[in-house]
Structure 1
């Protein structure tokens, strides 16, 4: 199993969730909210509400948001879009004022566009290709999700706990990440996942503390899935944030033999733990580190499997690359 975070995780294939519920009875609005872009959906929602821009502005002001009439007009015409933290916060109030399902408009905005020096390369980072993703998959993913979204975040801490079932063919993976915004407005992180065996069944991803599941894109040909985890609020530059999520899969056609995560940029600390079922303990377990996907693993010392059936590896001040554990069943 591998994961990548632009920091990449190889996990099993995540099916795209169904469309978000939208108001019925107005075909134009329904289609705009499903397909976007943001300004088209906003324009349709304003028309359907029957409210004037002045009335919307008053209601936003009552909610504590100072948005000018010119900004509202530009937003619905596509001449500009909400990007500052204060503007993104106002979009949540707009959804309520226009009687839309929570998250409908903010999801259509997509990742915040980087500005200034943060639009460029992050020191010490590597490409997604270096972590094993093909140009083709990146093109498929990029149609709906920005694979560089995590470059707007500094990775401070990454903890993952993998719990295998009694057969070694199913697991629950719990992830806790602490990040810090490199610029104002960062409001999501991206996880890219690759099925690590042929004919792998779909897995279920559940957003946990401080985030929700956004858009999901699946490249069926290469079994690559990218998913957005959207924070409950946009961050300010320098602000840290903790988010959690879980992934579950069962009935894989073969036993899982590795668990790794790929980071595009340096990370402060990473702790990875595998907990084996009491009836399925491997004979040995090793740490894994690959500076790039094509390079061999230079770590060959054996890890202790505790009496609890767990083994872990901890890294501090780690450069970009792949890190994890691998084990032998026989």
Structure 2
């Protein structure tokens, strides 16, 4: 529910332009000016949302001297979208896009636009295969092993799922693979490794998204658990800089392990999270590589909606 503000003006042309192209501080300044709110009033409205931000910080944000980064600051940005009557995630999106520009020189990074496009394509391909969001299955455990090849490419991955059916008759799972920028899903190979076989496979060449039907060979009853494993051979793109997974629904444990070939070891690795594709990255934590296995990993006791990944920097 949105709180009322002193003004309900429609966006000015300047604000409209700033919201489309940014940068964040220009859009924030234009939005505050369009509503005619002094920063003290903005701070007051934020306090009604349970968010504490100083007037000085707000001034720095709209001048571009500082950027919101801490979780409390990002909560404030979301509240500002409501207080200033802006479209949902319009300011958050601009923050994410500025992060994209700041890391533009890194290989194979996933931009805001690429994540949104991939999400839309994923939903379309899933619908083509007649699947729903969860497919009647609740995730108890999801474990991924990603391989980075000697050319520093995403060579492939294997996934092990432990699921429980929450309705009768479930007999398949729709697996999603999102290749790195420039990948060719038509040249990828889906391998059914345990307790399943490959059915239909649909893909979108432009976004690098592939959705594969994995058939269980049995119909589960509500409450039944099931374990299955599959792999995707990729290796169709250039240098890889990260691997991430997007979760739409809560679930059980998730682990992600990235293995690097001896001939292609990164300089540094870190984990990261995103509340959504439009949100800035946070939760950064440096990861130590295990020797002699050349692996890094993260373990999340419970899956939460959002994005979790590992990124690395090449020497």
With the shorter chain as reference, the TM-score category is 0.5 to 0.7
State the Cα deviation string for residues 195-228 of structure 1 (Å, max 9, x = none): 3212546211101111111112223343332211
Matches within 5 A, 1:301-312: 301-307=285-291, 308-312=293-297
RMSD over aligned Cα, in angstroms? 2.4
Output the CA distance in 2 between the equivalents of 1:286 and 1:256. Answer: 14
Conservation of the 8 A alpha-carbon contact between 1:263 and 1:321:
yes
Conservation of the 8 A alpha-carbon contact between 1:180 and 1:241:
yes
Q: Aligned match of 1:220 in 205, 227, 231?
A: 205
Secondary structure of residue in 1 paired with 2:283: coil
- Does 1 or 2 have the higher relative contact order (CA < 8 Å, sep 6+)? 1
Q: Aligned match of 1:278 in 230, 248, 262?
A: 262
Output the CA distance in 2 between the equivalents of 1:195 and 1:180. Answer: 28
Output the CA distance in 1 between the equivalents of 2:148 and 2:119. Answer: 32
Q: Is 1:156 equivalent to 2:140 in the alignment?
A: yes
Output the CA distance in 2 between the equivalents of 1:192 and 1:321. Answer: 16
Tell me the CA shift for residue 191 of structure 1.
1.8
Matched with 1:177 is 161
TM-score calculated relative to the size of structure 2: 0.58
Q: Is 1:238 equivalent to 2:192 in the alignment?
A: no
TM-score calculated relative to the size of structure 1: 0.56
Q: Aligned match of 1:290 in 268, 274, 288?
A: 274
Matches within 5 A, 1:135-150: 137=121, 140-141=124-125, 144-148=128-132, 150=134
Q: Is 1:203 equivalent to 2:181 in the alignment?
A: no
- Counterparts in 2 of 1:148 and 1:257: CA distance versus 1, 3 Å: same
- Counterparts in 2 of 1:208 and 1:149: CA distance versus 1, 3 Å: farther
Aligned residues: 201
Tell me the CA shift for residue 313 of structure 1.
0.3
Conservation of the 8 A alpha-carbon contact between 1:216 and 1:225:
yes
Tell me the CA shift for residue 139 of structure 1.
6.7
The gaps in structure 1 that reach 5 residues or longer are 1-128
Output the CA distance in 1 between the equivalents of 2:314 and 2:119. Answer: 34
Output the CA distance in 2 between the equivalents of 1:178 and 1:199. Answer: 29
The gaps in structure 2 that reach 5 residues or longer are 1-112
Tell me the CA shift for residue 231 of structure 1.
0.9
Q: Is 1:165 equivalent to 2:145 in the alignment?
A: no
Output the CA distance in 1 between the equivalents of 2:242 and 2:256. Answer: 11
